[in-house]
Every structure is written in structure tokens, then in C-alpha cells.
A = this chain, B = another copy of it.
């Protein structure tokens, strides 16, 4: 019997996914294992393989297989006997194909070169806190992204074309609406929390032997349900998670003797990403059904475990006795309440990645506002430090003393990630919406977690999120899961209750 059209497409997709997964291994190895002298050759390996992956993604034979099932122009599904899941897969296949073919090869190559030069200049600029070293590269990158938006095409705002790459169907109009409610609320709440007098939490920076830290992290991962047979954990400069396939997911943490909780936090964050990758349906590998829905949905999974679960009072009450047992001297005279307060301490920071749950999104909104203006052409690269500091003062009430602590802190722009930042905020909003539904679904959730049973969480996310892959757009996925369209209300109400 000849293969049906969908199976034929899936087979071609599988080759592409498999090759992409090898490129991902090259990245993982680069960040965790590669000897430093191997860097220049690694860049060549990545370039060689990426060009093969790109050729496969845009090949005629793939296009033909796709066109038998969906009209690439209109999106009309040509085989009505397919089930809804497969129809969703086809829409996502089409999305990716159209995106991949809109950017001409020579443009992609030029941009890749600019990004690689951008990272180098940024590293030096940040180290020496000299914005002028990065400025020419920033300007090049902005110009490329303005051109990129034009090539990708957009209806209302050129920035829509960029955010859509990372968060399908998200746009400036929707973001502006979400952020217009969040910004004043978060600013005020941050200010309020700042004014509260709180104990010093010096026990968090006591010395915790790395080996004991890791033993504890493994205990948490086991509780979360991270399967050690399908994952591996390493350390790297910045924690991350990369999945090759639902049977092989790699994640990392960063350890330091005097910041134990940062390690736990990273473990739960990356563990959340890992659970998502593990929960994608392996039987659909090669199709969008086995791919993460979006960067924002991915971030909702990590923040769920890091903040909503990990920083909850019930999880603290479960974990604290074990912590006391593992670290008796470091936690002498520390109560469960002290611990809970310490890990939920709100204090505006210059640095995004060190920020608390309340002020974090303000950092994202600041970057979003700047990116939007870069792409609209209403803000020039040279004015970045000034505008950055003004916005910091306006939203967080603090001004960084150096650009290294300010507009040079993130790698994103230097490597050509414009349009990506909003997904960090969306992750929290998605998680907030999901958490509201979770609380309604499992009214006993706090008691269950306090007992150390995290299975409700995992079951909920597996059913509502993981299993779907890219069948739906992020917003449809959330709407289906929660029964209503996404707003910032659940997240705001979550923070109101907590702080």
C-alpha cells in the first residue's frame, strides 16, 4: 500500500527534525563540554549543518509534500478527512514553511555574520562598560531587523512580524493592551513592597557545599517527575534547556557556593522546560505536534515550576524540613516563614535575571517599548543609554550607574533576537492564567503540594499543554485550557493575593 500523503509529509519532516536535533546537540556540547580551542571549528560545524537544515526545510520535495495537503497561500486544508490534530499540524507546517522561505538566503547569511560580530563586540562592550563599542553593531542589527520585518510582511506594525516569529499571532496591539494594565500595577506594587521593612536574609548567601546542593536539586527533580533516564543535567555559565527528542533532553544549572537558592530556582525553572520537552508526543516526531508551541508557552512551563510552585507557601512547607536536615548549620535560627519571605523578597534590581516575580515584567516592558521604537524608526541606537535610564527611573525608580548594569546587560540584541523579550512576560501571564484554572481544578492543591506530591501539576500541564505541541496557536491553547481569552487579570490577581 502506498504511504498516505500525511505519512509522506511526516517522514520528510522527521528528517528535518532529526537534522535540527543534531544542530541542537552541537549547541549543547558547545555550552557544556567543548574544549575552548574547539570554538572556531564548532562555528563551522554549525554553519555547515544549518545550511543543510535550511535547504531541507525549503526544498521542493518538502514543498510538494506539503502542497498536497494544504494550500500554502490561503491555508485551506485540501484533505477534509484528516482529524483536527493533523489539520493543526498542517497549519503549523505551513506557518514555518512560509516563514523560512520569505527570507532570502543571502539576507540570512549577512544577518548571521552581523549577529556573530554583534556578540563579540557586545562581550567587549559589556566587560568594559563602553556602549560606543557596541553602538555600530547595534545600528546594523536594528537596520537588518527593519528590513527583516519588511521581508516577513506585516499588517499594522513592523514589530508584529518579528514577535510573530517567536510567539505566533501575537502583535503590538495585543501586547500594548496587556502591558497597559500591568505596568502601572507592577510599578505601584514594587514601590509598595520596597517600602515594607524586612529582615535581612543573610542565610541565603551562606556557604552551601556544591555536592550537597546538587543532591538536594536531584531530590526536587525527582519530586517534579523529571525522568533521569531521558534527561541529563550539567552545569554551564547560564542555565538552559535543549531537547533533541522526548527521549533525550539536556538541561543545565549554574552553581556557586554562596547562592544555593539561585541553583534551586534554576533547577526548577529549567526542570519546567525539561518536563515540557519530555511531554511532547514522541509518536508525532517530525511534525509540529511534537514541537513546543512557542517561546512564551515554554516560558510559562518554566515559570510555573520556578515561581508558582517553587516559591509557593505550600512547597516551602514541604521542602523546608528537608532543607533544615540537609543544611543544619546554614539554616540555624531560620524559620519556614523566614525562608518563604527570603525567597519571595521584592526589591527592584538593575538586572533583569536577578529580579523578583513582581518587578520582572517591568524589565520586559522596558525592553519591549525600546524594541518597538527601534523597529518603527523612532529611536536611534545612539540614544539607547539615555532612554534606558529614563525608563528605569520611571518604572523601577532606580538608575544604573553603568551601561554594563543597564542597557548592555542582555545578550539578546547583540545576537539578533529582537521580538523575543515579550515572550518572557507572556510566559508569566500564561502561567498565571493556567494557575487560576489549576486552583479551580484541584481545590486541595496546597495540601497536596505541602505533602510533597507534585503530580497534580504535572498531570494538569501534560493534559492542557504538553500533549498539544503546536496544534494550536499559543493564545488558542491557553483559551482552550482556561476557558477564556488571555488577559493580565489572573496574573495580577495572583500577585495581589501573594504580596
Residues on A lying within 8 angstroms of B by beta carbon are: 15, 18-19, 21-22, 25-26, 29, 33-38, 40-42, 44-45, 48-49, 52, 227-232, 244-245, 247-248
Contacts and interface: CB of A to CB of B under 8 A. Distances in A.
Contact of A25 (B21, B26, B245): B26
11 contacts: A18-B44, A19-B49, A22-B26, A25-B26, A25-B29, A25-B45, A35-B247, A37-B230, A38-B230, A38-B247, A38-B248
Contact of A35 (B44, B45, B230): B230
A45 B18 contact: yes
A230 B42 CA distance: 12
What is the interface of chain A mostly: helix, strand, loop, or mixed? helix
The 3 closest A-B pairs by CB, nearest first: A38-B248, A37-B230, A37-B229
A19 B33 CA distance: 19
A49 B42 CA distance: 17
Contacts of A19: 48-49, 52
Given A29-B25, A38-B247, A48 B230 contact: no
A231 B33 CA distance: 10
Contacts of A52: 19, 52
B244 A38 contact: yes
A45 B29 contact: no
A165 to B, nearest CB: 26
A33 B33 contact: yes
Contact of A41 (B42, B45, B244): B244
Nearest to A245: B41
Contacts of A33: 33, 232
Contacts of A232: 33-35
Nearest to A233: B35
B40 A247 contact: yes
A33 B32 CA distance: 11
Contacts of A45: 18, 21-22, 25, 244
A35 B245 contact: no
Nearest to A32: B33
Contacts of A36: 229
Contacts of A34: 232, 248
A351 B21 CA distance: 39
- Most central of A15, A26, A33, A49 by chain B CB within 10 Å: A33
Contacts of A42: 248
A132 B37 CA distance: 49
